Chain A
Amino acid sequence: MIVAENLTRIYTMGRVEVHALRGVSLEVAKGEFVGIMGASGSGKSTLLHILGLLDRPTSGRVTIDGTDVLGLTDHRRTLFRLNRLGYVFQDYALIGELTALENVYLTSLVRGAPKEEYLKKSAGILERVGLADRMDHRQSELSGGEQQRVAIARALVNNPSILLADEPCANLDSQTSRSILDLFARLNEDLGQTILMVSHEEWHKEYFCRVATLRDGLIGDMVECRRRKPHPGGEA
């Protein structure tokens, strides 16, 4: 369970203070698929960065499964990200020098998994996202959709209990976007993975259990959604 309490985040840009979050509180239960929506500059990404331990709030408190994650040392936060979280960036954030397969198994390598095991698991997950024939290709040889699927495979390879996705479909066409959302929905449904996804596309709501809408650094609305069943089969 993720509990965020009264989060604020103030950036200083020269002499100007930007209040990205003004006191956000949010609870996400295990196995929920929550959408975070809002206009540009509303604080969606900032909130996800803080929940993903990539940034620290100016004030407030975050606990994940009972752990006060803001009190952890940098080293512990790194380990927490490695073992408990999967993060999908808007712009894929792949390592350009590595192939798709290497990008995916890198974190398993860090976790000390045996070679046979991480190769099999990484290849399996790449097959699952429809990239069986693109494993040995590097970032520059992959399309935007393929890169995003590699990034998703990387985020999922260690079975993280929480998946955070920052506008994962922002640079994708609607068909590719739908296949990725179907994949998320299936993971959420089959494996009970908690997913927080930032989006600004209205039609994405049909995949979410709940939607938190941010306005000017505060949660304006929190609405339950009527979920659509993920598309059976396909790439998902």
Chain B
Amino acid sequence: MTTLFTSLRVSAFLAWKSIQRGSKGTLALTIMIIALIFVNLVFLPSIISGVVETFNTQSIDFDFGNLVIEPREGSQYISGVTSLQKTVERIPGITGTSPRIAAGATFFYKGHNAASTLYGITPDDERSVTKIADYMTAGEFLSNGDTDAIILGTTLAGTEGQEAGGLPSLQGVAVGDSVEVTYPNGETRTYRVKGIYQTQSISVDTAAFVTSREMSGVLGLRDQASMILVKTAVDGREEEYKTELLSYGIQEQIRTFREKAGGFVDQAIQSFNIINTISALVSLIIAIVVVFIVIFINTVNRRRQIGILKAIGIDQQIIINSYVLQVLFITAVGALAGMALNAGVTTYLTAYPLVFPGGPVYPVVEVSAILQSVASLFAVSVVAGYIPAWQIAREDILTAIRG
């Protein structure tokens, strides 16, 4: 009696001989197509993951930190900022807090004007939360004692003679220049530009920063802030920290950086995922068609051989399995080649990242995406290989032998 092991051994023998002595060109082409399909299955999810990663990093590093404490319902400002800061900083896992005063302002420079957001910060605190200070392209970051200095985002500073495509731009401010700023209460101040930064986050690069001391003085605020940015030791656990902060009796509103983004990225990711699903489906259909055609042609060309095998006593299932094993081999080698190809593409895009509005996007290849792609490829390939093999192998022996 033929055991399962023996059957598989014979199937593997026939499969290997067919691969070894069949058309090398067809084999290479099929493997290449499977490899490209694999790359297509993995590439788009890696870009989507990259976009998410970029958004998260940019939001945390430049826009919001991990959490943002905002005024209570109905209040414009948080009061007792110093005390609140001390409370928050005592919580384990909180590594920094930065109170910010935010106000809409109009900036004037050599006949150009631009409306944007002006922030008042405590520079030392800001350094403990965001990385803006590390992204100065000219001049220096603010110091705690500065009262007549301002730093501008590169978009707001602008380039001489160039519009910024609808974004606020003063068209060519340089370090050392003077910029006039009109506050929402009508007060106007002139500041020396101490530095220009570039974070590649649009909302940050179109803004400007002065010290809280200066801005509080202009707006008449005392120990007040529009928001307090909070930096946590570990990213990705914002919800836990939010609960922790609330448990300390903080009455102000607390939002994670994702909540602050207002679902924009979630919507973008949803759209990306729809595109990705369509792309993956098309790829898998191509894989089914390619494998089906290859195995169909293979079995039709070997119809007589299949008839002979059955005539000499080889079970139909052994013959079918030999084709399934060939498909598994082609898919495995194709997936490996695809992984190598994808590694090449990923390496290239890591060196030369895609530039999105939120910043540079590096492909993030997740193991789960690879496993899912490999599993999908194997599943569709086996089905696409099995059907034509089964169709031919169940044919009448003499009909098959006569071709």
Contact = CB atoms under 8 A, between A and B. Distances in A.
State whether these chains interact.
Answer: yes
Interface string B310-329: 11111110100000000000
A93 B308 contact: yes
A78 B310 contact: yes
Given A54-B397, A55-B397, A95 B10 contact: no
A95 B3 CA distance: 23
Given A49-B398, A98-B17, A93 B10 contact: no
B398 A79 contact: no
A115 to B, nearest CB: 10
Given A54-B397, A93-B308, A96-B305, A110 B314 contact: yes
B99 to A, nearest CB: 78
B251 interface: no
Which of B13, B316, B397, B398 counts the most chain A CB atoms within 10 A? B397
Interface string B16-33: 011001100000000000
A109 B312 contact: no
Contacts of B22: 97
Q: Chain B: interface residue count, which band?
A: 20 to 34
Most buried by B among A78, A82, A87: A78
Contact of B308 (A74, A83, A95, A111): A95
Interface residues of A, number: 29
A3 interface: no
Interface string A54-66: 1100000000000
Contact of B313 (A49, A79, A97, A98): A79
A111 B2 contact: yes
B339 interface: no
A95 B309 CA distance: 8
B16 to A, nearest CB: 10
B21 A83 contact: no
B398 A78 contact: no
B9 interface: yes
Nearest to A49: B398
B273 interface: no
A222 to B, nearest CB: 26
A81 interface: yes
Contact of B312 (A75, A81, A96, A97): A81
Interface string B367-403: 0000000000000000000000000000001100100
A110 B2 contact: yes
Contacts of B304: 93
B277 interface: no
A28 interface: no
A97 B7 CA distance: 19
Interface in A25-61: 49, 52, 54-55
A106 interface: yes
A93 B311 contact: yes
Contacts of B9: 109
A188 interface: no
A78 B21 contact: no
Contacts of A154: 312
Interface string A126-152: 000000000000100000000000000
Contacts of B314: 78, 82, 106-107, 110
Given A54-B398, A55-B398, A78 B315 contact: yes
Interface of A: 49, 52, 54-55, 74-75, 78-79, 81-83, 85, 87, 89, 93-98, 102, 106-107, 109-112, 138, 154
The 10 closest A-B pairs by CB, nearest first: A82-B313, A81-B313, A112-B6, A97-B21, A93-B308, A54-B397, A97-B17, A78-B315, A110-B10, A109-B10
Interface of B: 1-3, 6-7, 9-10, 13, 17-18, 21-22, 304-305, 308-316, 318, 397-398, 401
